[in-house]
Amino acid sequence: MSNDTSQVLQQQVVAAMEQDIPLQIVGGNSKAFYGRNIGNKETLSVHSHSGILTYEPTELVLTARAGTLLREIEKTLHENNQMLGFEPPAFGDRATLGGTIAGNFSGPRRAYAGAARDFVLGCKLLNGKGEILSFGGEVMKNVAGYDISRLMVGGLGTLGVLLDVSLKVLPKPDVEKTRVIECHADEALQKMHHWAGRPLPISATCFYRSQLMVRLSGAEKAVKAAADVIGGDDLPQGDTFWRDVKEQKLTFFQTQKPVWRLSVASDTAPFMLEDESLYEWGGALRWLVSEMPHEVVRNSVADGHACVFRNHAGQGDVFQALSPGLMRIHQQLKKAFDPKGILNPGKLYAEF
């Protein structure tokens, strides 16, 4: 499926700007739960702007339109023994590339290979003035002009509507193996830090209910040797486990309570909070199911980022508050891209 609807999208944005009509940007609508609730707005539908534009396996680069389904991209890469290095969660069959990048959605491999933002090489976007702009490109190194492509990642469409995105892709590892070790949280953190300081081919870690899971990826002999260093036992069907972590299929995530995503210093001590938690990224990502007051959770992540990932139910804010200075910069940047504030207004913060 390949279809260029950029002109239609542009016309809709121009009309919205002229009439001061706020728009909500929608791709596959697989992640509507994420971000602040901005009520009913006119929809700017990006999903039909789709298709892989270029893919050169030996250049390690893929460019696709924002509405391209994530699973189509992953299938194409798989056929060439390659993958998206940031292992993005899809949260449904309809997930698109645009939404994945706009939210900087990155999976278990993130701490070891990089986040979505680390793999973005370039983009074409539609700003709030209805201008179609191209930044970056399809090369690995490019320092001409400000890095607007990466600025878009995680902006939830508030600075611009992604039209096309170029990504660096990676070869698939020859072999992957998952080990499981029974231990307590403190011990798990200690082990993850011990290994992280050594050259081991670790590509994912997860601690949940007294079990530490460690994925090793790479050349066959290297994985085998590392498995001996790590210890523990082989986890059969490791692939299924990591897919369930990534897609939040584990029972941990099956809840109506708020699910917090805490980005913290990796050696942060296990929370005193009573509620259940799941660790990833060598301890740098903590998922927490908790109905504690927001301030209590937010205050527990010194210089980190606590976000109500799911089930925020409109109470309190979703993302960690910005310092007054950073908020001012954010508002000025928003104006620089979207002077009338029509693109997903309020999706990140109430102020813009």
CB 27 within 8 A of CB 66: yes
Scan residues 69-128 and list those touching other proteins (CB under 8 A): 81, 104, 110-111, 114-115, 117-118, 127
Contacts of 40 (CB under 8 A, 6+ apart): none
Among 21, 38, 52, 133, binds other proteins (CB under 8 A): 133
Scan residues 289-348 and list those touching other proteins (CB under 8 A): 301-305, 307, 319-323, 325-326, 329-330, 332-333, 335-337, 348
Lay out the sheet containing 202-208: strands in order across.
233-234, 175-182, 211-218, 202-208, 276-280, 285-289, 259-263, 305-310
Contacts of 190 (CB under 8 A, 6+ apart): none
Choice between 1 and 140, CB closer to other proteins: 140
Q: Does 218 bind other proteins (CB under 8 A)?
A: yes
Q: How far is the CB of 133 from other proteins (least distance, A)?
A: 5
Q: Does 14 bind other proteins (CB under 8 A)?
A: no
CB 210 within 8 A of CB 162: no
Segment interacting with other proteins (CB under 8 A) among 13-21, 27-35, 153-161, 237-245: 153-161
Q: How far is the CB of 114 from other proteins (least distance, A)?
A: 6
Q: How far is the CB of 342 from other proteins (least distance, A)?
A: 16
User: Which among 97, 83, 100, 93 has a CA at the least distance from the CA of 49?
Assistant: 97
How are beta strands 61-65 and 161-168 bridged, if at all? antiparallel
Choice between 292 and 333, CB closer to other proteins: 333
Among 20, 39, 197, 251, binds other proteins (CB under 8 A): 197
Q: Does 153 bind other proteins (CB under 8 A)?
A: yes
Give the torsion through C-alpha atoms of 12, 13, 17, 22, to 10 deg.
Answer: 90
Helices (H) and strands (E) in the chain, counts: 11, 17
Segment interacting with other proteins (CB under 8 A) among 37-45, 87-95, 218-226, 243-251: 218-226
Q: Does 47 bind other proteins (CB under 8 A)?
A: no
